[in-house]
Amino acid sequence: MRTESLLETPLSREHLRVTLVDHTADPRVASFVESHPDGLPFHHPAWLQTLVDTFGYRAVALACEDDQGILCGFLPLVYRHGWLRGKALWSLPHTPLAGPLATSDAAATALVQAAVEFTEYEVGQHLHFKTLCPDLDQRVPSLQRCEWYPTYMIPLPNRTDPLRIGAPGYQSDIRRGVKKAKEYGLRAREGKSIDDLRAWYRLYLAGMRRKMSPPNPFRFFDAAWHHLHPKGFLRLILIEQQSGGSSELVGGAITLMVSETAVGEGIGQRDRTSTLHLHDLLYWESLHIAWEAGCRAFDLGNVPTGQEGLVRYKRKWGGQPHPVYRYFYPAGRQHARLTSPVSLQRRLTRLGHAGWQHVPLAATEWIGSMVTHYL
């Protein structure tokens, strides 16, 4: 990619300048994301480097600064080439949300416009965002917007206020569920080592196989552990069942947090544990960790159309829907109606009737790696 053109000639608008930065070397970027109230773990340069290390993507990190050199916006992107999607700049693949993070509408607009102009340097290239911003197409008319499935966020109180988990009317049910989990011998602890991560990954891999969803490869979580865990941005919660003086790992999940929003990722669960209230204990511990870290919201993830049971479950925990938007450049009819993210899962479900559940876990990981990388 001809990145030198933008490095040598920064794009300037209204006393704002957009340039390419080295996200691994410019300390302003990490500080900006960590101090911004809307900063997500996926905006952080450590997450961007996780994608680069895992999939070999080329990072395109755009920063917006004022005439004093103060950073007022950041847009993480990667350049990828998929078999079906062709060449594209993404913010970001393998990521629920990203897009521009800025202190003003002008800075966000400058970043997006710079990304559009940067896209034009590559023949046949496309630009994709997934973000909570509802009006980027109004500020940059060349973008096409499509509403995506909402994500459900639990608001968290200030650290000085008590944490009451659950929507009104469900708080006592959740407490009873947590109590039941402990009566079944379930206990939570925090994973501290790469061996803990490997043990959790085996549960995650088996769970993704049961759900007929393509898993991320272990090297993805290994890279995330390397870049995020030492900074306290990745916390691994493990659930063990204690019985007869011994314990067995039965579940776990990852919580990512950088600024004020924590994100739950990668729940893994052993077979035949659905009656143990494992999820109640897992969410209970994850929410407490996020609240104690000063987060003001916990993102439970999006819910595709038609999964009303999952909607009710997330609302039970206090999750409130927030619209998510996808933006594309250049515009095209193929973006007007997006296919369901569960369409691949449905195809894998049909394959499951032919023996998908008996595919070895190592093969499941390899297939997931191919799907997530190239499609």
- Range in 136-145, 236-245, 302-311, 339-348 the model is least confident about: 339-348
Instruction: Say what angle helices 278-292 and 171-183 make with each other, to 10 degrees.
Output: 110
Q: What angle do CA 216, 218, 222 make, to 5 degrees?
A: 115
Model pLDDT for residues 85-117, shown as the tens digit of each residue: 668 899 999 999 999 999 999 999 999 999 999
Model pLDDT for residues 279-321, shown as the tens digit of each residue: 999 999 999 999 999 999 999 999 888 889 999 999 999 999 9
Spatial neighbors of 176 by CB under 8 A, at least 6 apart, are none
Tell me the DSSP string of 32-92. Answer: HHHHSTT--GGGSHHHHHHHHHHH-PEEEEEEEEETT--EEEEEEEEEEEETTTEEEEEE-
Residue type at 340?
S
CB 361 within 8 A of CB 202: yes
pLDDT score at 273: 81
Show the tokens assigned to 239: 């659930």
CA end-to-end span of the chain:
21
Distance CA 295, CA 297 (A): 6
Mean pLDDT of 195-210: 90
Three-class SS string for 159-175? CCCCCCCCCCCCHHHHH
Mean pLDDT of 154-183: 95
Spatial neighbors of 362 by CB under 8 A, at least 6 apart, are none
Distance CA 116, CA 111 (A): 9
pLDDT score at 48: 97
What is the C-alpha radius of gyration for the chain, rounded to an integer number of angstroms?
A: 21
Of 335 and 156, the structure prediction assigns the larger pLDDT to 156
- The yes-or-no verdict on residue 221 having pLDDT over 90 is yes
pLDDT score at 367: 60
Three-class SS string for 91-160? ECCCCCCCCCEECCHHHHHHHHHHHHHHHCCCCCCEEEEEECCCCHHHHCCCCEEEEEEEEEEEECCCCC
State whether residue 211 is helix, strand or coil. coil
Name the pLDDT band for 29 (thresholds 50, 70, 90): very high
Name the pLDDT band for 269 (thresholds 50, 70, 90): confident
Model pLDDT for residues 43-58, shown as the tens digit of each residue: 999 999 999 999 999 9
- Paired sense of beta strands 144-155 and 126-131, if any: unpaired
DSSP secondary structure letter of residue 292: H
CB 119 within 8 A of CB 127: yes
